C-alpha cells in the first residue's frame, strides 16, 4: 500500500492502523504537513519515504509517487496500490487481498484518451509551462518568476511538440492498483525516455497523465487495463471532489471499488466510523 498524505492525521492514523494489519505500507507525508512520519512509528509494517514539499498540480506530486514506487519496488512486491491519506476503505483487508489476487492479471488505472471534453481537452496541461510561482513565492519574487513562466511557456512549447506530442496521451485519476511487471515497465520507459520525464517537470496536474500515458503507450489496445480501484465523486458537490458524509453510506456500501476518496473531519466522521465498523473482519 502506497499512501500520500498531507492533512487530516486522525484519518491517516485510522487508515495506517487498518492497512498495516495485513499489508506493507509505504507512507509519504508532505514536508509542509503539520505532522510527522514519526507520529506513525508505532506501526511496524510502515516504511517512511523521504518527504517532499508537494505543490498542487506540480511535478513534485508525480515525483512523490515515483519515490513511493521506487522504495516499495525494492522490496519486490507483486502489486502496488496507491491511495491518499484521505481515503476510506470500502472493503475489509481480506476482501482487498482477495480482489487483487483474483485479478492478478489486470491493472486498475483509469486511462481516457486526450483531448477529452471532461477536462476541457486537457492538452494545455502539457503545452504550457507551469512553475507554480503563485504557490511558492510572494511579492517581487513571484512577479519575476511569473515572467520566467511566461517566457518558458512560449519557448518550451516547440521543443515539447517536437519530442512528445506526436504520440497519444491519456488522463485519469491519480490513484491505481498496478502489477509488479507494469511498474517495472514504467521504470524502464522512464529510463529510456528521459525527454518524457523532463517535459513533465513543467506540466500542470501531470500526475493525472504521466503514468496513464506510459501504460497506454506500452499497451495501446488497453489490454488488461481496468478502471481505478478508488471511487471519487466529481459530480455531486458541493466540493470538487465531493467530501463524503453519512448520507453517502448506502451508495458507498454498494460500490465495487476498494477505497473512496475524499473524506475529511468533522464532516465525514460518522461515515468513516461506520465504514470501518462494517469492513472490520
Give tens-digit pLDDT for 82-120. Answer: 999 999 999 999 999 999 999 999 999 999 998 887 766
Could you tell me if 260 and 87 are in contact, meaning their C-beta atoms sit under 8 angstroms apart?
A: yes
Q: What are phi and psi of 160, to 5 degrees?
A: -60, -50
The domains found in the chain, sorted by start residue, are 2-111+171-188+224-278 (3.90.550)
Pairing assessment for the beta strands 259-261 and 230-232 based on DSSP bridges: parallel
Pairing assessment for the beta strands 230-232 and 79-84 based on DSSP bridges: unpaired
Q: Enumerate the H helices of the chain as residue ranges.
A: 9-19, 59-73, 93-102, 124-127, 133-136, 139-163, 180-192, 194-200, 210-218, 249-253, 269-278
Q: List per-residue pLDDT tens for the chain, 281 residues long.
A: 999 999 999 999 999 999 999 999 999 999 999 888 777 777 778 999 999 999 888 889 999 999 999 999 999 999 999 999 999 999 999 999 999 999 999 999 999 998 887 766 677 777 765 555 445 556 776 677 667 666 655 554 544 444 556 678 999 999 999 999 999 999 999 999 988 887 787 777 889 999 999 999 999 999 999 999 999 999 998 999 999 999 999 999 999 999 999 999 999 999 999 999 999 97
Structural element, H or E, at residue 123: none
Amino acid at each position: 500500500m502506497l499512501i500520500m498524505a498531507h492533512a487530516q492525521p486522525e484519518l491517516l492514523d485510522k487508515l495506517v492502523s487498518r492497512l498495516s494489519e495485513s499489508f506493507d505500507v509505504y507512507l509519504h507525508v508532505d514536508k509542509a504537513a503539520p505532522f510527522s512520519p514519526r507520529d506513525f512509528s508505532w506501526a511496524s509494517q510502515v516504511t517512511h519515504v523521504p518527504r517532499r514539499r508537494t505543490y498542487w498540480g506540480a511535478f513534485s506530486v508525480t515525483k512523490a509517487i515515483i519515490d513511493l514506487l521506487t522504495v516499495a519496488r525494492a522490496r519486490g512486491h507483486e502489486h502496488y496500490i496507491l491511495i491518499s491519506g484521505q481515503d476510506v476503505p470500502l472493503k475489509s483487508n481480506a476482501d482487498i487481498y482477495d480482489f487483487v489476487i483474483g485479478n492478478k492479471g489486470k491493472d486498475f488505472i483509469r486511462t481516457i484518451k486526450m483531448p477529452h471534453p471532461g477536462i476541457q481537452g486537457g492538452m494545455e496541461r502539457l503545452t504550457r509551462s507551469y512553475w507554480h510561482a503563485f504557490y511558492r513565492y510572494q511579492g517581487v519574487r513571484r512577479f519575476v518568476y511569473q515572467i520566467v513562466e511566461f517566457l518558458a511557456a512560449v519557448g518550451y512549447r516547440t521543443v515539447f511538440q517536437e519530442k512528445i506530442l506526436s504520440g497519444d496521451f491519456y488522463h485519469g485519476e491519480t490513484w491505481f492498483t498496478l502489477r509488479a511487471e507494469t511498474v517495472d515497465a514504467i521504470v524502464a520507459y522512464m529510463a529510456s525516455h528521459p525527454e518524457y520525464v523532463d517535459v513533465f517537470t513543467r506540466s500542470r496536474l501531470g500526475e493525472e497523465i504521466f503514468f496513464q500515458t506510459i501504460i497506454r503507450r506500452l499497451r495501446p489496445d488497453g489490454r488488461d487495463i481496468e478502471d481505478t480501484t478508488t471511487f471519487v465523486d466529481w459530480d455531486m458537490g458541493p466540493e470538487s471532489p465531493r467530501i463524503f458524509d453519512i448520507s453517502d453510506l448506502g451508495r458507498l456500501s454498494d460500490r465495487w471499488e476498494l477505497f473512496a476518496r475524499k473524506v475529511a473531519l468533522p464532516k465525514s466522521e460518522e461515515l468513516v466510523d461506520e465504514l470501518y465498523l462494517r469492513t472490520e473482519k
